[in-house]
Structure 1
Amino acid sequence: MKHLRTVGDVMTRSVISVGKGAPFKDIVEAMRQSQVSALPVLSADERVAGVVSEADLLLNAQDMDETRAVTAGQLMTEPAVTVSKDATIASAARLMAHGHLKRLPVVDEDGVLIGIVSRGDLLKTYLRPDADIAAELREMITAHFAPAGAPLVHVYVSDGIVRLEGSVPDPRLQDMLVRVARTVPGVVDVIPLPDAAMSA
């Protein structure tokens, strides 16, 4: 069972990019062929130097004339906002939301481009079957809360919504269970144990 937890689990490894010296028309053609609205711009050593977007092209197209050569290095937004393949899906989503970005270049520890992750890629986690989500959560509960192997609560999942049933002796344990459930990729919401189930 594949657990989709990190950017590396969902990213696209085949990435269209351009060098800093790529001319305007080549950038437009690369975007058209790959059907994307932005491209990573790479330096000579394959590190991500910046990102050039349709907006960058349109803004500069108004001021262009035939005597001036315009390249990706001149048009790009820098520094590029990038993400590690080991980053969590949640942290990548926050980074995109904060920067109003549709996609992020994925880099290794040296800053070399190894993939691209889009909003759509991050949403793949919500396509996980309910049975997979329930199985992973049961494993986590057994490992963390029931060392003897006995189930602490029963887990049911429908359309990504987790429902917990059973009883716990401490309200603090209820909060911990909910937090753990929310970390499972694909979980949309968590319905906690009813108050009556939290008794000694």
Structure 2
Amino acid sequence: MHTTVEQVMSRQVIAVTEDTCFKDIAATLITHGVSAVPVLAKDGRVVGIVSEADLTRAEECRELFRGEGYQAPVHGDGRDRAGSTVAGELMTTPAVTVTPETPVTVASRMMDEHGVKRLPVVTGDGRLAGIVSRRDVLKVFVRSDQDLEHEIKVDILSRSLWMDTARVHVAVADGVVTITGRMGLRRDTEVTVWMVRQVDGVVEVRDQLGWDRDDTPVGG
């Protein structure tokens, strides 16, 4: 039921290597209309991210120290950025990444927590497999009502729960699911509603189900 990153990610990824120079990084960002790109080691592993903010920060440091006869980076006071000329020196590391198996909802939360618009998708050995963006994530939440209704009826009620759905009606409007009718056991209704809430794209579940027998523990 949960959509994974692999299902929505882009497999054609713009990336740079650790020795890509400042000007080439800037040109890459401008040409492809992106705000950041993964930085790859020689073996294809993602070792960092270089963004517009990283380039701007480095340029600001150059301006700040230009009149001081600046020669080499001095770690710890910002001057290290002033001497940065290639991606390996400019990048933010370690990169925040996800795997193809990561649920889209988790990827979305990570983007929000780290304040980024996209995340590199890496395999188990750290190699680049794709990129997932906020726009990719949003695709999950704009599924049609018909698509949601089909998944609930077929994948949840019929296949997962093996339920007789003759007495159950599912209606979806703007992502809001209304379930009406009756089931044999109260526990079945609770499980059904819980599973429907887990479906990507469901905004709200309105539970109007009844049951023939209450099989919940006393006091439950």
Match of 2:161 among 145, 152, 155: 145
TM-score (norm 1): 0.88
How well do the aligned residues superpose, as a CA RMSD in angstroms?
2.1
* Residue 113 (structure 1) shift: 0.6
Counterpart contact for 1:142–1:152, Cα < 8 Å: no
TM-score (norm 2): 0.80
Match of 2:134 among 119, 143, 150: 119
Match of 1:30 among 24, 28, 31: 28
Counterpart contact for 2:38–2:50, Cα < 8 Å: yes
For 1:71-129, what per-residue CA distance to the aligned partner results, in whole angstroms no more than 9, with x for missing partners? 11111111111111111111211222222221100111221111100111011012222
* Residue 52 (structure 1) shift: 0.8
Q: Which shows bigger deviation, 88-97 or 29-38?
A: 88-97
The structure-2 alpha-carbon separation of the partners of 1:171 and 1:61, relative to structure 1 and needing over 3 Å to count, comes to farther
Match of 1:161 among 139, 158, 176: 176
* Residue 15 (structure 1) shift: 0.7
Match of 1:17 among 15, 18, 21: 15
- The number of residue pairs the alignment matches comes to 195
Gaps (5+ residues) in structure 2?
Answer: 72-82, 214-220
* Residue 143 (structure 1) shift: 2.2
Cα distance in 2 for residues equivalent to 1:69 and 1:95: 28
Cα distance in 2 for residues equivalent to 1:150 and 1:138: 8
* Matching residue's letter, 1:125: V
The structure-2 alpha-carbon separation of the partners of 1:151 and 1:76, relative to structure 1 and needing over 3 Å to count, comes to farther
Cα distance in 2 for residues equivalent to 1:179 and 1:31: 43
Equivalent residue number for residue 115 of structure 2: 100
Larger radius of gyration between Structure 1 and Structure 2: 2
* Residue 162 (structure 1) shift: 1.0
Cα distance in 1 for residues equivalent to 2:84 and 2:161: 64
Cα distance in 2 for residues equivalent to 1:79 and 1:70: 19
* Matching residue's letter, 2:207: P
Equivalent residue number for residue 145 of structure 2: 130
Gaps (5+ residues) in structure 1?
Answer: none
Cα distance in 1 for residues equivalent to 2:126 and 2:166: 44
* Matching residue's letter, 2:43: D
* Residue 175 (structure 1) shift: 3.1
Cα distance in 2 for residues equivalent to 1:190 and 1:184: 10
Over the matched positions of the two proteins, sequence identity in percent amounts to: 40
Q: Secondary structure at the match of 2:26?
A: helix
The structure-2 alpha-carbon separation of the partners of 1:6 and 1:74, relative to structure 1 and needing over 3 Å to count, comes to same
